Amino acid sequence: MNYLEHTTILKANNKEYKLVRLQKYNSTSHKATNKYYVDGKMVNNFDRVSCERAIDEAHISTLVETQRNWEK
């Protein structure tokens, strides 16, 4: 199985918003999970929605993105 981890970080309003998307795939299937963090702490429910909205609405120049591929 192959994995792709894509991290997006936004620093705004004295907070750090982070989205970590992990994709697992092989020749027959694909699965992805998203985890959201505010100041290093994983968030759920309303905080997750506000974190997602902040990242989605941010200008592309304010985002830091990294990508990592690996095989297992």
pLDDT, tens digit, for every residue of 24-62?
A: 988 889 999 999 999 999 999 999 999 999 999 999 999
**Counting runs of H as helices and runs of E as strands, what totals does the chain give?**
1, 5
Q: How confident is the model at residue 70 (pLDDT cuts 50, 70, 90)?
A: confident
pLDDT, tens digit, for every residue of 43-52?
A: 999 999 999 9
pLDDT higher than threshold 80 for residue 71: no
Q: How confident is the model at residue 69 (pLDDT cuts 50, 70, 90)?
A: confident
Q: Which residues contact 70 (CB under 8 A, 6 or more apart)?
A: 2, 3, 5
pTM as predicted: 0.85
Residues 37 and 56: their CA atoms lie apart, in Å, by 14
